Each structure stands twice: as structure tokens, then as C-alpha cells.
Amino acid sequence: MNKYFLSPESITNLKELHEDLVGHLIQRWKRFDGEEVEDLEYEFYRHSISFVLGSLIGNSYWNKLLEYDPYVDELARKFQLVFETSSKLNVLPSVRLVQRLGLPVWKTFESAVGASLDASRNVVRKAFDDLSQNGLLYKLASENMPEDVTSALVSDLLIAAGDTTAFTSQWAVYLLGRNRSVQEAVRRDKSLIRGVVRETLRLFPSAAFIARVLPNAETIDGYDLQKEELVLLSLYTAGRDERVYPSADQFLPDRWTKEGTARYKGVLDVNSYLPFAMGARSCIGARLANAQLNMTIARLLENYDLDAMEETDMVLRLVPVPSKPVRLKIRSRKKLEEGTGEFYKRRCDKFVIIVMCYVIIVLRYVIAPPIMLRTQLIRK
């Protein structure tokens, strides 16, 4: 799978479709113009699933978007429920005990997972009938893998992408909506979009920890670690290390601006940035996620003014999530600009009227009397 999903060419071949899918989100959000986006988490779940599904099927997905809409809606709701229930299980002291006792939280989780897998299998079966040659699933099918194996892989990818990219998207619009000056700076300089994505993943990594088993005994920073010992890396902690990121708690997309050809402006060691891990076990959806995040944020900023209405904290569940729903109000940039133009037009009209009145007054009471007096004297 890596040679397809991590290939730059594979993503490039899907660019036009990706732009159409992001455009669909922009159109969908027009109904929220001037208001709070209803159920922002669900909207981004839905967008992430549609983006991945389109990437798997290829260009024909766009032509059959209405056919796939019910599948996307169902997957989004079911994946949300899987995440919610698995997060609750994650904080319990013994999941096995909960399972053995058959507690309601386990039954809900089990039911949600089963329903999600069934829904995934259904959409994959339909996808096999609609494949285009630029779709990633078409390329996987050429490997002659059993359909049930391919279906399982695709289901895993859809579930994983639904959670991680949806929450990263939420954090990105939240950070932009709470930092108005940064939002305007990014609009002026589109090259900062990449910095927005990197800063969001630095502050709120979609995988808070990376776990690896050491192939050999190592000594790391004075600690002796044995072969096959499990090591956890905290990406959340690494991303807020002042020794690497000056003003680490601040949202500064321009820190990722390169100075010359080597160093970044505000990153002292780029090797500490590992949101998708690295090497053979790096995230297989990294290129897709980056494509979706960069394109979506760019188009949202182009079309809407973003206002995060309330401050929220981060809580760690399976991934870093907002402690309460992100409340995002959007306003059409086009309408705002038209409104600003109309405002200045009205100001200009008032100014013209005032000037004309002033001229009339000057003519009537300053210039006219001497002229009239002079005319009378000449007549005499």
C-alpha cells in the first residue's frame, strides 16, 4: 500500500477531484453564513470520509457524489460513535473486566464497531463497481489481493482518517478563529497555509504518542534501554518544548518560514516534528491528510471569515480533542467585502452632499452679497 498512498504522483493525479470535494464543503457551508456552523465535528468527519473515499474511487466519485452521500452520512455518524465509546473505555482501569461483565459502555462500543465495519464493507462493495484509474483502490486491486483483505484495509483507513483529520481540522479553524491577526496574515500570504497545518499538528498532534519496540539495546540521554523494550515518545510534549520551539505555546505559522535554504525561522530542530511518525511504520495516510488539510484551510480562509466564539481546552482521549464542542461562526468574505464597499460608498455620498451644501452656503452668503452690491452700485 505504501507505494501508492505515499507516492506524490498518486496524490497529484487526484488534485482536480480533491479541489472539487473541498469546493463541495464550501458550498455546503453557505447555509451557515452569518451563523454558527452546526455540529462542526460531524461536518469535518463527513468531509474527511468523503475526501478519503473519493481518493480511493477516483474521478468517478464526483460524478456519483449524490449516490455516495447517504453512505458518507452513515459512516460519519457511526465513526463518531466508535470514537466516543472507545474514548470512554480508554479511561477505565480494566477493559477486559468491563467486557466480561457486559457493561452498557462495552455493549455500545461493540455495537458501534460492528455497525461501522458493516457500513464500511457496504461502501467498499459499491466502490469496486465505480473505480476510476486514478483511484487508489484501483491500484490496490491490481495487486490481486483478496477482496476481503482489501475491504478490511480500506475500512481501517476510513476509520483512522475520520478521527484524526476531522479533529485536526477542528483545531486548525479554532486556532485561526481565536487569532484574528494570524488569520489576516495568512490571507495576505498564502504560503503560510503550510505553516498553519504544521503549527496545528505541533500543538495538537493527531497521535499524542508514538510507541516503538527497540531492535537493539540503546543508551538514550543517559538511560540504558534493553533490546525489545517498549519506548513511548510524547509528541505533545515534544511539540511544546521551548528548547526547540521558542514561544512554544503560541500559534505562530510563520515559524515554519525558511530562512535561506536550510533553517526554519522558529524551529531549532526540525527532527522533533513527527506528527506522522517516520520510516517504514509512518502514517500511510500522511500525504492524503496533508493534501486535505492544506487545501481545505486555504479555501475556507478564501471564502469565509472564521470566528471561534468560545475558548476551549484540550483533553487527551485517543487523540487530543476539544474539552467542549468548538463553536465556529462563519461569514462570507464576499459579502463582507461588498458590505465594506457599500459602507464607503454611503460615506462618499454623504461627503459629496456635505460639500455641495457647503458650496451653496458659500455662494449664497459669502460670494453672492458683494457681487450683488457691486451690481447695484454700477446701476446707480
pLDDT tens track for 198-251: 999 999 998 888 888 899 999 988 889 999 998 888 899 999 999 999 999 999
Write down the domain spans for the chain. 2-188+286-304, 334-380
Q: Pick from 3-17, 177-191, 265-279 the range whose average pLDDT is largest.
A: 177-191
Mean of the pLDDT values across residues 314-333? 90
* CA contacts within 13 A on the Cβ side of 379: 6
At 47-82, the pLDDT tens digits run 999 999 999 999 999 999 999 999 999 999 988 888
Q: What is the pTM of this model?
A: 0.83
**Any idea how long the chain is?**
380
pLDDT band at 344 (very low <50, low <70, confident <90, very high): very low
Cα 210 from chain centroid (whole Å): 22
Task: Quote the CATH superfamily of domain 2-188+286-304.
Answer: Cytochrome P450 (1.10.630.10)
Binding-site annotation: residue ranges for heme? 283
Binding-site annotation: residue ranges? 283
pLDDT of 38: 96
For residue 256, pLDDT beyond 90:
yes
Looking at every residue in the chain, the average pLDDT score rounds to: 86
Q: What is the DSSP string of 76-138?
A: HHHHHHHHHHHHHHHTSS-HHHHHHHT-HHHHHHHHHHHHHHHHHHHHHHHHHTS--TTSHHH
Please state, in angstroms and rounded to a whole number, the distance separating the CA atoms of residues 163 and 349. 53
Contact 10, 56 (CB under 8 A): no
pLDDT band at 378 (very low <50, low <70, confident <90, very high): low
At 92-140, the pLDDT tens digits run 777 788 778 888 888 888 888 888 888 888 888 899 899 999 998 888 8
3-state secondary structure of 12: helix
